[in-house]
Chains A and B, each alone.
Chain A
C-alpha cells in the first residue's frame, strides 16, 4: 500500500459526459501528479500541483482540469468525454516539489462508451 488513495477504482460513462477523479496523497506529501496510461500513448504526465498551486503542465487537454484543495487532496475533472479518453488515470504524490520520490495510487480505470 503506497498510501495514495484514488477513487473511484472504476468508472464507466457515456461520451459527452463529465467525471471527477479524486486523489488523496500520502500523509504529509505536498505534491500531487496526475498521469494518464493508455495502450497507445503509455504513461503520459498531465499536471502537477504543489501545496495548492499548479506547478507543471504536461499533455493535458483543455477539456481536462485539476485542482488541489487546502487539505491537499486533488481532483481531476474530465469533460466532454470522448471514446479516446478511456484510460487508466494515476495519481502520484511526493513530499517535495521535485519528484524526488513519487508514490502512485492504484489508479482509476475510466471507460467511455
Chain B
C-alpha cells in the first residue's frame, strides 16, 4: 500500500524566509501526489498535485513542489513566507488497487510564520 511521511510536525519560519515542507512517499506504482492546506477551523484546500506530467508542479499562493523519483520525495516550497501562510499542510498519495482509489494523508506539518 502507498504511504507518505511528513518530516517535521512543526516548522517555524520568519516572514520573507524560504518555506520548505518535506514529504516522502512509498509507492509500488507511479504515484499521484498532492499537497493540501488546512487553515484553522476550515476544510482542506488543494494546493497542488502531481499526476506524472511535469516534475515541477506549481500551485496556488506561490507554492510549488518537485517530484523526485530517485529520492521518493515531493517537498513543498515557497520562496518567501507570508503571515497568511500559517496553517497546517498535508501531503497525500493516491492509493490505487484494483478499482479502489483513495487518498492517504501524512500526519501534517504545522507552519508558523513569525513577524
Contact = CB atoms under 8 A, between A and B. Distances in A.
A42 B105 CA distance: 8
A48 interface: yes
B35 interface: no
Contacts, number: 55
B62 to A, nearest CB: 20
Nearest to B105: A43
Closest 7 CB pairs of A and B: A56-B100, A43-B105, A104-B44, A104-B43, A98-B101, A106-B43, A99-B101
Contacts of A99: 32, 94, 101-103
Given A42-B107, A48-B100, A100-B94, 7 more contacts: A42-B105, A42-B108, A45-B104, A55-B100, A56-B100, A99-B32, A105-B43
Interface of B: 32, 36, 42-46, 49, 51, 90, 94, 96, 99-108
A4 B42 CA distance: 12
B103 A102 contact: yes
B101 A56 contact: yes
A56 B102 contact: yes
Contact of A97 (B43, B46, B49, B101): B101
